[in-house]
């Protein structure tokens, strides 16, 4: 079962292939959600400063019956921070909010501040290198164990790889049936950078899609399980988001394999076309 499967990052650290995403669960509720997720088998969690729920995630980890060393925690820098000193401060503040001694994975959340996404061509190459310099120092100081990027295009990844000392461990990008950025995924794979798939269920948009439901029926699984299996078989780490215990269990219970022929057909599907009509 994929619930037990781990992948090894380019720094030798093992990571669960199925993790729980925590956006947009609020800070008050996420503590209970994390505890429940741990009780049903999750050992890895993904959050971010911009989600506003880091302290709740930390409390959920602290109040569980599982050792901290058995939990893998990912968080992300605020997208508005693109300078060295601001990054150092953001890392220390995150550790304080979590009340933890270290963060397992720290990501640059986006190459651009949210306010600029899809509005400007400025990729903030220098600012991202300032982020990275502080993140590399945090690794050497033992505050962070692995570092990576999120929502980075090829040019953004190349900027870090060509100018940094530590290669990104992951690039967390949107991957799901109907949206498979093959070129970017292959580029990262060739560099030894693991792809993490955020929004593997397309925010629920495609769970009633006729084609996806037909394939799910063929394998006697739910549409969500089919979509998660698709990303897992592409070699991605997946980050399904749910605050419902039954859904959490279902999302961990991926014990079937999509045939090569069906995978090839599913990769060709495009969202918002006649091939996929909700």
SS3 content of the chain, % helix, strand, coil (to 5): 45, 20, 35
Q: Looking at the chain, how many residues does it have?
A: 278
DSSP codes of every residue in 71-97: -EEEEE--TT--SHHHHHHHHHHHHHH
Q: Closest Cα to residue 57, out of 87, 109, 94?
A: 94
Which of 51, 102, 187, 219 is catalytic? The answer is 51
ω before 24 within 30° of 0 (cis)?
yes
Q: Record the tokens describing residue 28, joined without a space.
A: 């008050």
CB count in 10 Å sphere of residue 139: 17
Contact 252, 3 (CB under 8 A): yes
Angle between helices 260-268 and 223-233 (to 10 degrees): 100
* Cα separations in angstroms, 118 against 47, 77, 83: 23, 19, 21
Residue 51 annotated among the catalytic residues of the structure: yes
Residues that are catalytic: 51
């Amino acid at each position: 079962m994929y619930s037990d499967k781990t992948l090894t990052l380019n720094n030798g650290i093992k990571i669960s292939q199925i993790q729980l995403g925590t956006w947009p669960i609020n800070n008050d509720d996420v503590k209970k959600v994390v505890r429940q997720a741990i009780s049903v088998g999750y050992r890895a969690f993904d959050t971010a400063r911009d989600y506003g729920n880091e302290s709740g995630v930390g409390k959920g980890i602290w109040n569980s019956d599982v050792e901290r060393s058995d939990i893998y925690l990912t968080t992300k820098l605020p997208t508005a921070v693109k300078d060295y000193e601001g990054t150092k401060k953001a890392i220390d503040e995150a550790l304080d909010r979590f009340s933890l001694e270290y963060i397992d994975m720290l990501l640059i959340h986006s190459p651009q501040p949210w306010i600029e996404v899809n509005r400007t061509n400025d990729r903030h190459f220098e600012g991202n290198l300032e982020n990275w310099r502080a993140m590399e120092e945090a690794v050497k100081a033992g505050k962070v164990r692995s570092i990576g990027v999120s929502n980075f295009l090829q040019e953004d990844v190349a900027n870090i790889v060509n100018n940094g000392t530590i290669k990104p461990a992951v690039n967390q990008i949107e991957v799901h049936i109907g949206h498979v950025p093959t070129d970017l995924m292959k580029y990262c794979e060739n560099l030894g950078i693991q792809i993490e798939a955020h929004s593997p269920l397309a925010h629920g948009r495609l769970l009633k899609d006729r084609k996806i439901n037909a394939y799910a029926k063929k394998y006697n699984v739910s549409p969500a399980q089919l979509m998660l299996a698709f990303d897992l078989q592409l070699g991605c780490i997946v980050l399904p988001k749910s605050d419902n215990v039954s859904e959490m269990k279902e999302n961990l219970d991926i014990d079937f394999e999509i045939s090569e022929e069906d995978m090839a057909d599913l990769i060709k599907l495009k969202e918002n076309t006649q091939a996929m009509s909700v």
